[in-house]
C-alpha cells in the first residue's frame, strides 16, 4: 500500500526543500522533486501544499500510567500515544519498572501488559532497575539478549524507593559494559537532598518552591560527576544523564565528551522555558503544578542560556519530555 504526500516542504537534518514523499507500508520509498514524481497506481494522496513535512519525533523519555505516590500518571498508553500522534511524535520509549524485591522480567511483563494493543504509535522500553542485586544483574543480560531492551535506568535520588548506592551503580555499569547496553542515570544526590528536605520541613517550609530549594543545582552536578567517574571506572560504560537541568551538570558532561567519553545527556522543554521563580514559586499552592525532579532552576542563574548553548554544541544530545502528568486535584 502506497501513500504519496504531495506539494509540501520536506524538512530533514540537512535542510528544507520542496519534495513529494512516497511511503510504502511503514517505510519511505522515495523523495521526488515535485515535477518529477512518477504516477503511483492506487496510492492514497495527501495534499501537503503550504505545509512542512517532518520526520516523526521520537520521545525517548515518557512514563505513561506510572504508579507514583499513591496515584498514577494520568495519561494511559492509549491517551498518551494518541496525544503524541497529534503532535507529530511517532515513537515513544517508556520506562518499565522493577522495584527492590521484585523480579525484572515481571516488571517488564507488567509494562507490556499496559501498552499491548493500546498504543497508536510505535513504542519501546527502557528498564528501571530499582533493586540492583545478583538476580537483577543477571536479568539485564536476558533483556539485552531476548527482549530488545538495551538501556537500564538507575537512580542516585530517592533513597528507600529507587535509589542505588555507588557499589550497586558500579556493578550495574560493569554488567552494561559486558553486555553492550547503556546506563541511564537520574543524577541527583538523594541522600543529601533528603537531609535538606528534613531540615526545611522542621522549619515549616512547605510551599512548593521548597521542592526546588531543597534540590540545589550543585547536588545534581555532584551526582553527574560521580556517575561519569563510576562509568569510567567500569570501563567507559555508555552513560546517559536524564533530564539534565543545571549549568554545572552540563559542564561535567561537556568535559567528559571533550575527552571522547561515551557520555550523553538529555534536557527537557520545562528546563528550557520555565523557572523556579516564575512557575514553582507561584503564590499559594499554584506552584505545585510545576513540581518535577530535577527541579526547575533559578532564572537568576545562567542555566537556561547554557542549556540552549548545549543543544547547539551537541553537548546535550537529546530533547525529551519526561512526560508524566498528574491532575491538580490529585
Ligand atoms: Zn522520568
What are the pLDDT digits (tens) for 173-203?
A: 999 999 999 999 999 999 999 999 999 999 9
H or E element at residue 239 = strand 239-241
Grade residue 260 by pLDDT with cuts at 50, 70 and 90: very high
State in Å, rounded, how far the first CA of the chain is from the last one. 46
CA–CA separation, 310 and 191 (whole Å): 28
State residue 126's pLDDT score: 98
pLDDT tens digit string along 211-255?
Answer: 999 999 999 999 999 999 999 999 999 999 999 999 999 999 999
For residue 52, report the distance from its CA to the centre of ligand 1, in Å.
30
Percent of the chain, pLDDT > 90? 93
Cα 278 to ligand 1 centroid, rounded to whole Å = 22
Kindly report each contact of residues 121-124 with a partner whose C-beta sits within 8 Å and lies 24 or more positions away, as own/partner: 121/56, 121/81, 121/84, 121/85, 121/89, 121/90, 121/91, 121/92, 122/90, 122/91, 122/92, 123/77, 123/81, 123/91, 123/92, 123/93, 123/94, 124/91, 124/92, 124/93, 124/94, 124/148, 124/149
Mean pLDDT of the chain: 96
C-alpha cell at 249: 551538570
* Structure confidence at residue 220 (pLDDT): 98
| Percent helix, strand and coil across the chain, each to the nearest 5 | 40, 25, 35
Q: How far does the centroid of ligand 1 lie from the alpha carbon of residue 95, in Å?
A: 8
The CA 279 to ligand 1 mean position distance, Å, reads 19
CATH of segment(s) 57-319: 3.20.20.140
**Do the domains spanning 2-53 and 57-319 agree at the CATH topology level?**
no
Task: Return the pLDDT at 70.
Answer: 85
Question: Ligand 1 centroid vs 320 CA: distance in angstroms?
Answer: 10
How confident is the model at residue 192, as a pLDDT?
Answer: 98
| Ligand 1 centre distance from Cα of residue 81 (Å) | 16
pLDDT interval class at 53 (50, 70, 90): very high
Those residues whose beta carbon sits under 5 angstroms from the ion ligand 1 are 322
> Looking up cell 486535584, which residue turns up?
329
Ligand 1 midpoint to CA 3 (Å) = 35
For residue range 56-87, what is the model confidence (pLDDT) as tens digits?
A: 999 999 999 999 888 899 999 999 999 999 99
Fold topology of 2-53 = Urease, subunit C; domain 1 (2.30.40)
Q: For residue 87, how far is its CA from the centre of ligand 1 (angstroms)?
A: 20
- Going from the Cα of 293 to the center of ligand 1, the distance in angstroms, rounded, reads 8
C-alpha cell at 111: 509494562
pLDDT band for 276, please (50, 70, 90 cuts). Answer: very high
CA of 63 to the centre of ligand 1 (A): 6
Domain ranges of the chain: 2-53, 57-319
132 alpha carbon to ligand 1 midpoint, in Å? Answer: 19
Amino acid at each position: 500500500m502506497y501513500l504519496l504526500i504531495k506539494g509540501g516542504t520536506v524538512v530533514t537534518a540537512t535542510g528544507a526543500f520542496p519534495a513529494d514523499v512516497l511511503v510504502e507500508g511503514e517505510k519511505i520509498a522515495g523523495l521526488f522533486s515535485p515535477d518529477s514524481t512518477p504516477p503511483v497506481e492506487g496510492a492514497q494522496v495527501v495534499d501537503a501544499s503550504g505545509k512542512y513535512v517532518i520526520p516523526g519525533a521520537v520521545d525517548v523519555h515518557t512514563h505513561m500510567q506510572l504508579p507514583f505516590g499513591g496515584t498514577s500518571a494520568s495519561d494511559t498508553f492509549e491517551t498518551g500515544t494518541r496525544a503524541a500522534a497529534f503532535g507529530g511524535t511517532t515513537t515513544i520509549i517508556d520506562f518499565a519498572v522493577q522495584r527492590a524485591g521484585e523480579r525484572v522480567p515481571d516488571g517488564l511483563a507488567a509494562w507490556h501488559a499496559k501498552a499491548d494493543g493500546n498504543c497508536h504509535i510505535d513504542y519501546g522500553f527502557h528498564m528501571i532497575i530499582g533493586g540492583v542485586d545478583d538476580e537483577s544483574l543477571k536479568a539485564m543480560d536476558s533483556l539485552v539478549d531476548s527482549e530488545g531492551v538495551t538501556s537500564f535506568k538507575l537512580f542516585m535520588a530517592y533513597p528507600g524507593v529507587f535509589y542505588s548506592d555507588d557499589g550497586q551503580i558500579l556493578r550495574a555499569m560493569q554488567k552494561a559494559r559486558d553486555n553492550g547496553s547503556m546506563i541511564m542515570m537520574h543524577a541527583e544526590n538523594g541522600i543529601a537532598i533528603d537531609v535538606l528536605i528534613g531540615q526545611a520541613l522542621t522549619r515549616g517550609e512547605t510551599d512548593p518552591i521548597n521542592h526546588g530549594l531543597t534540590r540545589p543545582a550543585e547536588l545534581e552536578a555532584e551526582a553527574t560527576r560521580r556517575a561519569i567517574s563510576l562509568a569510567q571506572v567500569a570501563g567507559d560504560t555508555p552513560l546517559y544523564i536524564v533530564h539534565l537541568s543545571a549549568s554545572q551538570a552540563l559542564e561535567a558532561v561537556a568535559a567528559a565528551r571533550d575527552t571522547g567519553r561515551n557520555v550523553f545527556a538529555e534536557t527537557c522543554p520545562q528546563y528550557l522555558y520555565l523557572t523556579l521563580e516564575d512557575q514553582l514559586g507561584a503564590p499559594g499552592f499554584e506552584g505545585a503544578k510545576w513540581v518535577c525532579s530535577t527541579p526547575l532552576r533559578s532564572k537568576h542563574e545562567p542555566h537556561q542560556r547554557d542549556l540552549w548553548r548545549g543543544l547547539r554544541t551537541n553537548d546535550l544530545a537529546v530533547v525529551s519530555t519526561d512526560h508524566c502528568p498528574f491532575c491538580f486535584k490529585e
